[in-house]
Amino acid sequence: MAGHNLPLPDRSASTRPGNGLNVQPYYPTSHRRPSAPMMPPFMVSAPGKVIVYGEHAVAAIAASISLRSYLLVTFLSKSRRTVTLRFPDISLDHTWNIDDLPWAAFSHPKKKKYYYDLVTSLDPDLIAAMQPHIVTVSPKLPEPTRKIHQASATAFLYLFLSLGSQKSAPCVYTLRSTIPIGAGLGSSATIAVCLSAALLLQIRALSGPHPDQPPQECALQIERINRWAFVGEMCIHGNPSGVDNTVSAGGKAVLFKRADYNKPPTVIPLRNFPELPLLLVNTRQSRSTANEVGKVAALKAAHPIITDNLLEAIDHVTESAHALITSPDFDPTHPAALQHLGDLITINHGLLVSLGVSHPKLERIRELIDHTGVGWTKLTGAGGGGCAITILKPQPASSLRSSSGGSSCDSDEDDCNSTPATTEPHSNLKMLDTLEVALEAEGFEKFETTLAGDGVGILWPAVLHNGNEEEGGEEIDQEKFLRAEGNEGIERLVGVAGARGQVAREVREGWKFWRP
């Protein structure tokens, strides 16, 4: 489909998305035909993240996960002159009149920013100019919800006003996410990355992704998205580290070091980090990063030598993982390599327990998972709640649910908990089924995901193609997007394969990712 060819970069500051596309002829007001949308809808997606090694220490490794946020951009008719931010997962739905927004403040010669600029701080004058348009967002809701809604609106408007113009196309930006919110998985960063990429695409400041894109150009595109995503993160968090948006934009993994919290961390991409099956369990226990950092500080004040040794040992864990992954002969498929990474997961968790940042719910999750022997488990993030991650051990060939001649479990009606005669009764998959029941019985939420996959991606236009190469495809519109139920419904709609390698009934194509 011709619409899959993305617009090439146009360095003109006057470039507007959709100019000249499908413009309706003029008719007198009394006989005017309804104008059509200026462009077909498109979709942007970005992954969440976990800390794999190094919490509370100087060096850490963070990696993307295949739980993602999805942003659908729907163009309205040229005459509508409104822009809407719709985030049903948090019940946010707000519309602004484009012509009423503070364009004069953002286009002032001393304030104007361009897509290639590096923005490291928010302009207080621009924030002030936005306030009348932020306070109208969810004003009657309880304060905690209102703060979340207004922070999201601030990030959106700051990016929209910085990258767009008063002639920007009227649109609806609809966001859905498969990432648990507030669980330390970088959900806000995925929102910022999706918005940044979508707005940069609309002003034609991105030229990819495409199969023949040179690596350097691809890296530049990711960095451009990442820079503006960081601006969005500043609107939400004030002083973010930049790690979450960097992982979400680029995917795979990064090594970051932050010896001085008054300076940005050093971030080194780890493109060789292996894609691994990952079990993610949400304790549903709220936690405060500041509280957990405070616990470590208090322990250091009381026992400085011991605490320093624990933190140094965590740094050594990260360095050992980094040395393995970056070694010339690293083979992620070799059992010894995975055992090395798994052992480091176990060691890292033990050290974090010694620092006092675990939680009884995290320990219960680890106990349940360790009893099955399916993998190596640790807490991820600051601790005190949040999530635990488990790198799964390789699945033996005999643990497949069916023999090569049997039917696969890809039907909603199939009994996916049954074990064929050709299957060992204690296979990894059977144990995961049993584990899921045990975890849910105790109030935990389990996700089977993938570690260190792709970063930001696009579906342009928002049409999924099936494997029989028939003309056209299935368009993802707002109604379908809003109607999709839960993670499974969203992933099925956007064409993501099911868990555990299940084969989808239709092989869908169209998603493209920047891969340096």
| CA nearest neighbour of 190 among 287, 365, 46 | 46
| CA nearest neighbour of 314 among 288, 347, 361 | 347
- The set of residues, in sequence order, having a beta carbon less than 8 Å from that of 154 and lying 6+ positions away, is 127, 130, 134, 235, 236
Q: Which of 10, 100, 212, 244 is catalytic?
A: 244
One DSSP character per residue, 36-97 reads: PBSS--EEEEEEEEEEEE-TTSSEEEEEEEEEEEEEEEEEPBTT--EEEEEEGGGTEEEEEE
To the nearest 10 degrees (0 to 180), the angle between helices 187-202 and 243-250 is: 60
At 290, the amino acid letter reads: A
To the nearest 10 degrees (0 to 180), the angle between helices 304-326 and 335-354 is: 160
How far apart are the C-alpha atoms of 281 and 275, rounded to whole Å? Answer: 18
Burial of 107 (0-12, 13-18, 19+ CB in 10 A): middle
Which uninterrupted H or E stretch holds 464? strand 463-464
- Cβ count within 10 A of residue 399: 16
Token pair 């070799």 is found at 334
How far apart are the C-alpha atoms of 244 and 229, rounded to whole Å? Answer: 10
| CA nearest neighbour of 512 among 437, 460, 473 | 460
Token duo for residue 87: 């985030």
| 212 included as an active-site residue | no
Q: Catalytic residues, which ones?
A: 244
